[in-house]
Structure formats: C-alpha cells, structure tokens
Amino acid sequence: MVRFFNNYNVSFRLNDSDRALVVRGSFDEDAGMRAMHHFYDPVNNKGITIGGEWIHAKQWSEDTLAQATIDPLF
C-alpha cells in the first residue's frame, strides 16, 4: 500500500518510518471490537449483528465521534 501511495504521490513520499506506522495501524485497527465496524450489508443497510447491532462501515467511516468512543456498540 505504501509503495502504491508513493508511486502516485511523488512530491509527498512515505519513508520507512512512515511505512512502519501504517503497518502497525493496520494491525491495531483490527484489534479488539473496532473490527466489528468493518462490515456493511448494502441490501439491508446494516452492519454485523453478532452480540448486538454494530454501526456499519459506511456510517463508521463518516462518524468521528463513534470512532473516538470507548463504547463499541451504537
């Protein structure tokens, strides 16, 4: 992903330190309950419903308050 970014952003390239942060962030984003917001059912306009009804990925991507909260269910 960093290589792809660097190919298209010649004036703003990510270095090895930046790359390490991107890799770490991709692992951290899937840790714990945050991963439950990575689903979207476009037919029913819903997220995953295991253990509750989770905000779907489409809402999650636009809701900075939801992303910052500790309470994972909405």
Mark whether 6 and 23 lie in a shared domain: yes
31/21 Cα distance (integer angstroms) = 15
Range of the domain at 55: 35-74
Mark whether 70 and 39 lie in a shared domain: yes
Place of tokens 């997220």: 47
- State yes or no: pLDDT of 56 exceeds 70: yes
Mark whether 9 and 22 lie in a shared domain: yes
- State yes or no: pLDDT of 1 exceeds 60: yes
Contact of 55 with 74, CB cutoff 8 Å = yes
Q: How confident is the model at residue 60 (pLDDT cuts 50, 70, 90)?
A: confident
Number of domains in the chain: 2
Place of tokens 């309470």: 71
Q: How confident is the model at residue 65 (pLDDT cuts 50, 70, 90)?
A: confident
- State yes or no: pLDDT of 36 exceeds 80: yes
- State yes or no: pLDDT of 70 exceeds 70: no
Mark whether 43 and 61 lie in a shared domain: yes
Contact of 41 with 23, CB cutoff 8 Å = no
DSSP 8-state symbol, 34: G
